Amino acid sequence: MSNAAQGLEEHRTLVEEWLRDCFRERESRGDLYDAMYYSLLAGGKRIRPVLLLECCRLCGGEPAEALPFAGAIEMIHTYSLIHDDLPCMDDDDLRRGRPTNHKVYGEATAVLAGDALLTAAFEFMLDPSVKLPPERVLEAAGILARAAGGRGMVGGQILDMAGEGHSLGLHEVEELQRLKTGALIAAAAEMGCVLAGGSQEQRHSVRRYAECVGLAFQIQDDILDVVGDTETLGKPVGSDAKSEKTTFVTLKGLETCRELVQKLTNEAVDALTCFGLEGEGLCWLATSLASREK
Amino acid sequence: MSNAAQGLEEHRTLVEEWLRDCFRERESRGDLYDAMYYSLLAGGKRIRPVLLLECCRLCGGEPAEALPFAGAIEMIHTYSLIHDDLPCMDDDDLRRGRPTNHKVYGEATAVLAGDALLTAAFEFMLDPSVKLPPERVLEAAGILARAAGGRGMVGGQILDMAGEGHSLGLHEVEELQRLKTGALIAAAAEMGCVLAGGSQEQRHSVRRYAECVGLAFQIQDDILDVVGDTETLGKPVGSDAKSEKTTFVTLKGLETCRELVQKLTNEAVDALTCFGLEGEGLCWLATSLASREK
């Protein structure tokens, strides 16, 4: 493993351990925490928290101090998947190769597990045990709140639902994806920089990087929904076609999409020049996401 | 109207105006904001935000500065009602005399409107436009996060669901209600004091007051579910019996419950002695809640 990859792998290990223990000391509440842990520890790629920690390190901060924020963004990502899979939403039975949350715990508990994860994200960021300067904590938590709500992820989900069965234009699909997946990825990068007390130039650079990576990530997702296989992905392929969604692939075709992913990945790497060699971890991340098969 | 009542009415007007305008400048996202406004502006009693503003005033703060926090707690209360009414939860068709959110906007939008309201609560509290000292903002937002999550309201909802069809003991019903409704009411009082920069004694007093009022409020709710009428309440009576819930009334009987409400209200008023005559607004609130018919 390269040094660049190893640094990120260390972040990932930190995040996994933090997530594994985060609710350990809480008093049991029915099967609420079982349901929350079920989805939280389902072995996601941890892209958002790893990106947050690496941007924190890159901007001169201590990643360990940013862990509650890294965990928080993964909680918000996880809650959105639980609610997205509900019968009244995408009605999915399988997620990451396992039955979806409501299939195991029932719909009511799945709704509440999602609600509790979303709330827990803020509990951890705003906990008195966080010793970073209050101004940085406030700013980082505020960035996440804005990226997760109606002006970000949830807004994107509404547009996504509204678009099913309709044919959308490229601009609409871009806007939808910028909100639905892009906002949280950009927030991860920006939060890492803010928590580290980074400069405006650094903040601008990591945000630009994350915007390119986020869009490339979504286009690659659309590609994999057409050419991937169910076993590798851990979820059914062809789900976009099934729900008649307009995707980058339906708009642009596979070949152009592959070129777009490459172009955006190059732009992401270019955005990191101000960090010199220190940016190689994020370069590696962008490249590996562009060539992922799941 | 007494002076005491008038002060609270002024808070309520401030809250209504703030809520009415809070999403006005946002870009439209399908019917997301319509659905959010539908439930947010459905004419609730606004007990939590009014309590927050009055505790802020009582502890030496400026209520207008605490408005985003008052609005935030009402958003969290509102989102919990939307999710609670869903078919997979309580499956209610009527709330405050109107069709429930999912009856009007569909289940998927209702889930997302709830998610967006919960998130918006934090967006507003953590907004850069809030000019209160960062330490107070952090502490107040943290209190609300803890009261709303698995250790508070959502934890109470899980226990509530788990208890349906089972017979619970008094201790269990008290614990459930302390979490499900008590936590948010106590948080409102504490947040108001924290935002004002109040003393530990003041914080202890308003919290004690709110704990008594919160429990009295729930017992009165249980009483009204038996003796109230559907038209006044704006929701069906007898819903607890229908879902075989153990309530304070099934455990203690109507007469004892009425005495309990009175006793708790007296205790709430007693907790305010350190505020002298200034506490008359909160005394009036406790008394009027104890005699409410809806």
DSSP H helical ranges for chain A: 3-21, 32-40, 47-58, 67-85, 101-105, 107-125, 134-148, 153-163, 170-177, 183-196, 200-227, 230-233, 239-242, 248-252, 254-270, 280-290
Separation in Å, CA of B79 to nearest CA in chain A: 10
Q: Are A64 and A131 in contact (CB under 8 A)?
A: no
Q: Are B273 and B261 in contact (CB under 8 A)?
A: no
What's residue A204's pLDDT? 98
Q: Are A44 and A96 in contact (CB under 8 A)?
A: yes
Q: Which residues pair with B99 in a beta bridge?
A: B94
CA distances from A214 to A96, A209, A227, A285 (A): 20, 9, 20, 12
To test the contact with chain A by mutation, choose from B154, B179, B194 the residue with the greatest count of A C-beta atoms within 10 A, namely B154
- pLDDT (mean) for B217-235: 83
Residue B254 to residue B259: CA distance in whole angstroms? 9
CATH number of the domain within which B209 lies: 1.10.600.10
| Beta carbons of A111 and B112 less than 8 Å apart | no
What DSSP string runs through chain B? --HHHHHHHHHHHHHHHHHHHTTTTSPP-TTHHHHHHHHHTS----HHHHHHHHHHHHTT--GGGGHHHHHHHHHHHHHHHHHHHSTTTT--SEETTEE-HHHHH-HHHHHHHHHHHHHHHHHHHT-TT--S-HHHHHHHHHHHHHHHSTTTHHHHHHHHHHHTTSPPPHHHHHHHHIIIIIHHHHHHHHHHHHHHT--HHHHHHHHHHHHHHHHHHHHHHHHHHHHS-HHHHTS-S-HHHHTT---HHHHH-HHHHHHHHHHHHHHHHHTTGGGGGGGHHHHHHHHHHHT---
Separation in Å, CA of B6 to nearest CA in chain A: 34
Residue A6 to residue B81: CA distance in whole angstroms? 46
Domain that residue B133 falls in: 3-290
Separation in Å, CA of A30 to nearest CA in chain B: 6
Nearest residue in A to B127, CA atom: A142
Nearest residue in A to B23, CA atom: A150
What's residue A48's pLDDT? 98
Q: Which residues of B are less than 8 Å from A126 in CB distance?
A: 138, 141-142, 145
Residues 6+ apart with CB under 8 A from B214: B177, B178, B181, B182, B185, B186
pLDDT in tens, chain A (294 residues): 688 899 999 999 999 999 999 999 999 999 999 999 999 999 889 999 999 999 999 999 999 999 999 999 999 999 999 999 999 999 999 998 899 999 999 999 999 999 999 999 999 999 999 999 999 999 999 999 999 999 999 999 999 998 888 889 999 999 999 999 999 999 999 999 999 999 999 999 999 999 999 999 999 999 999 988 766 766 667 777 777 788 999 999 999 999 999 999 999 999 999 999 999 999 999 999 999 888
Residue B146 to residue B152: CA distance in whole angstroms? 6
What's residue B53's pLDDT? 98
Q: Which residues of B are less than 8 Å from A31 in CB distance?
A: 158
What's residue A233's pLDDT? 67
| Beta carbons of B158 and A88 less than 8 Å apart | no
Q: Sorting pLDDT into bands at 50, 70 and 90, what band is B207?
A: very high
**Token digits for B82?**
């939307």
- pLDDT (mean) for B191-210: 98
To test the contact with chain B by mutation, choose from A25, A28, A29 the residue with the greatest count of B C-beta atoms within 10 A, namely A29
| Beta carbons of A123 and B116 less than 8 Å apart | no
What's residue A223's pLDDT? 94
CA-closest candidate to residue B148, choices A69, A143, A68, A112: A112
| Beta carbons of A23 and B150 less than 8 Å apart | yes
**Token digits for B37?**
């406004």
What's residue A3's pLDDT? 84
Q: Which residues of B are less than 8 Å from A111 in CB distance?
A: 83, 86, 88-89, 111
| Beta carbons of A142 and B120 less than 8 Å apart | no
CA-closest candidate to residue B37, choices B87, B75, B64, B88: B75
CA distances from A147 to A77, A152, A266, B8, B259 (A): 11, 4, 25, 35, 49
Q: Which residues of A are less than 8 Å from B107 in CB distance?
A: 88
Residues 6+ apart with CB under 8 A from A13: none
| Beta carbons of A158 and B29 less than 8 Å apart | yes
What's residue B242's pLDDT? 74
3-state secondary structure of A94: strand
Q: Which long-range contacts (CB under 8 A, 24 or more apart) does B171-178 make?
A: B172/B246, B173/B246, B173/B247, B173/B248, B173/B251, B174/B215, B177/B214, B177/B215, B177/B218, B177/B248, B178/B211, B178/B214, B178/B215
pLDDT (tens digit per residue) in B81-140: 999 999 999 999 999 889 999 999 999 999 999 999 999 999 999 999 999 999 999 999
- pLDDT of residue B234 exceeding 80: no
| Beta carbons of B114 and A115 less than 8 Å apart | yes
**Token digits for A196?**
């580290």
Q: Are A54 and A11 in contact (CB under 8 A)?
A: yes
Q: Which residue has the tokens 């990451």?
A: A96
| Beta carbons of B106 and A88 less than 8 Å apart | yes
What's residue A251's pLDDT? 94
Q: What is the dihedral of CA A119, A124, A129, A132, to 10 degrees?
A: -120
Nearest residue in A to B111, CA atom: A83
Q: Are A114 and B150 in contact (CB under 8 A)?
A: no
Q: How many other β-carbons are positioned within 10 Å of the β-carbon of residue A165?
A: 10
| Beta carbons of B36 and A126 less than 8 Å apart | no
**Token digits for A195?**
């928590």
Residue A244 to residue B271: CA distance in whole angstroms? 61
Q: Which residues of B are less than 8 Å from A134 in CB distance?
A: 134-135, 137-138
Q: How many other β-carbons are positioned within 10 Å of the β-carbon of residue A13?
A: 12
Q: Are B122 and A145 in contact (CB under 8 A)?
A: yes
Q: Which residues of A are less than 8 Å from B79 in CB distance?
A: 115
Which of left, alpha, beta for B93 (phi over 0: left; psi -120 to 50: alpha)? alpha
Q: Which residues of B are less than 8 Å from A26 in CB distance?
A: 150-151
What's residue A242's pLDDT? 74
Domains: count for chain A: 1
What's residue B282's pLDDT? 97
Nearest residue in B to A79, CA atom: B115
- pLDDT of residue B233 exceeding 80: no
CA-closest candidate to residue B176, choices B148, B210, B153: B153
Q: Are A220 and A290 in contact (CB under 8 A)?
A: yes
- pLDDT of residue B219 exceeding 70: yes
- pLDDT of residue B235 exceeding 70: no
- pLDDT (mean) for B21-30: 96
**Token digits for B285?**
């609130």
Nearest to A162 among B30, B150, B155 (CB): B30
pLDDT (tens digit per residue) in A160-205: 998 888 889 999 999 999 999 999 999 999 999 999 999 999 999 9
Q: Which amino acid is at A163?
A: G
| Beta carbons of B154 and A33 less than 8 Å apart | no
- pLDDT of residue B175 exceeding 70: yes
Q: Are B182 and A153 in contact (CB under 8 A)?
A: no
